[in-house]
Amino acid sequence: PQLINQIAAGEVIERPASIVKELVENSLDAGARQIEVRLERGGAKRILVRDDGCGMTAEELPLAVSRHATSKIASLADLESVATLGFRGEALPSMASVARLRIVSRRAEGEHGFAITADGSDQTPAAEPAAHAPGTSVEVQDLFFNTPARRKFLRTEKTELGHIEQLIRRVALAHAAVGFRLEHNGRSVLDLRAAGGGEANLPQRLEQTLGGEFLAASLVLDDQAIGLRLFGWVAQPAFSRSQADRQFFFVNGRMVRDKLVTHAVRQAYQDVLHHSRHPAYVLFFELDPRQVDVNVHPAKQEVRFREARQVHDFIFRALHRRLAGGTMAEGMP
């Protein structure tokens, strides 16, 4: 199992940001309203993710770090309609095989919490009583300490932190009602407060994550037809120096980087503005979950649409209409 776990780890854990992604998704699955991420040395030394979600019992803790023990899927039929972000039950055991993993967790009804430390060996660790507020803290230390070849691929602190920052922005845009904090080497990097629920909170979240200039310089779009909906913000390419990190496309709340989507978006910009260099946008696409497979690959952000052509054309037309019809807001550079 140790080896199998390390191989699985190769699939999902490329760098500190991959760990933060899995942990934050677990926190969201657990219903957290506030998620805190603390890093040391770009996450290579230490990653701590703390949430106020449902927590785990003393019995659940050892299961969480054993392979394929996911609590999120009861049958194959569930696979078709997984609403939660994770379902493979591989993330925590994979982490335990390439780093030192410690989890402290408490259910709301528990009198106190429990902790386990997984050392990557085949023995299932036992949970011991520990102090914790309702919720869960997962700590991952010394990433790749036992796989030096992979440790070499880690980049500078700054680069790894950059990846994590971008990840938190992404997740925070998809979950506007959840508060996020990011701290690096004891200093606050992001503090994204949640000011209410749902879509109403989105403009504020947009401002927190991408800045007021983006919001001021973009058009609001909201279009729906044949069971598909596309809404969000689109800005003209001239908007700012570096745009590559200002392209966010979510499918049913999950960030994707997909060829079909990118093509449709670029095509619309190209048609209306006669060039499609670095458009900036935050777009949310919603459709029946049975019409899309979001689990093409555990780590990649690709999706597969059942009606690919229809989806492409809908996205293209919705954007085209908005870009052509709306004059870009005042304040455009």
Binding partner of residue 218 among ligand ADP, Mg ion, none, CB cut-off 5 to 8 Å per kind: none
Q: Is 92 an interacting residue with respect to ligand ADP (CB under 6 A)?
A: yes
Element spanning 232, H or E: strand 228-235
Query: What residues are paired with 247 via a beta bridge?
Result: 281
Binding partner of residue 5 among ligand ADP, Mg ion, none, CB cut-off 5 to 8 Å per kind: none
* 71 vs 141, beta carbon nearer ligand ADP: 71
* 92 vs 115, beta carbon nearer ligand ADP: 92
In whole angstroms, give the CA distance from residue 216 to residue 18.
32
Question: 121-140 mask for ligand ADP (x: CB under 6 A)?
Answer: ---------------x----
Residue type for 294, please?
A: V
Least distance (Å) between residue 266 CB and ligand ADP: 33
Residues constituting the chain: 333
* 37 vs 264, beta carbon nearer Mg ion: 37
Task: Retrieve residue 159's tokens.
Answer: 């680069």
Binding partner of residue 72 among Mg ion, ligand ADP, none, CB cut-off 5 to 8 Å per kind: ligand ADP
Query: What residues are paired with 181 via a beta bridge?
Result: 36, 191
Q: Is 113 an interacting residue with respect to ligand ADP (CB under 6 A)?
A: no
**Cβ proximity of 233 and 221 under 8 Å:** yes
User: Which residue of the chain is nearest ligand ADP when measured via CB?
Assistant: 86
**Cβ proximity of 65 and 101 under 8 Å:** yes
**Cβ proximity of 255 and 174 under 8 Å:** yes
Residue 203 CA to chain centroid, in angstroms? Answer: 19
Which residues, numbered 82-141, are part of the site for Mg ion (CB under 5 A)?
A: 86, 91
Residue of 5, 18, 26, 136 interacting with Mg ion (CB under 5 A): 26
Binding partner of residue 12 among Mg ion, ligand ADP, none, CB cut-off 5 to 8 Å per kind: none
In whole angstroms, give the CA distance from residue 40 to residue 194.
25
**# of chain residues touching ligand ADP (CB under 6 A):** 21
Long-range contacts of residues 72-79, Cβ cutoff 8 Å, at least 24 apart? 72/29, 79/295
Which of 1-9, 68-76, 115-123, 266-274 is the region at the interface with ligand ADP (rule: CB under 6 A)?
68-76
User: CB-based contacts of 236: which residues, under 8 Å, 6+ apart?
Assistant: 217, 273, 279, 280, 328, 332
Q: Is 91 an interacting residue with respect to ligand ADP (CB under 6 A)?
A: yes
Least distance (Å) between residue 156 CB and ligand ADP: 28
**Which residues of this chain interact with ligand ADP, rule CB under 6 A?**
22, 26-27, 30, 51, 53-56, 64, 70-72, 86-92, 136
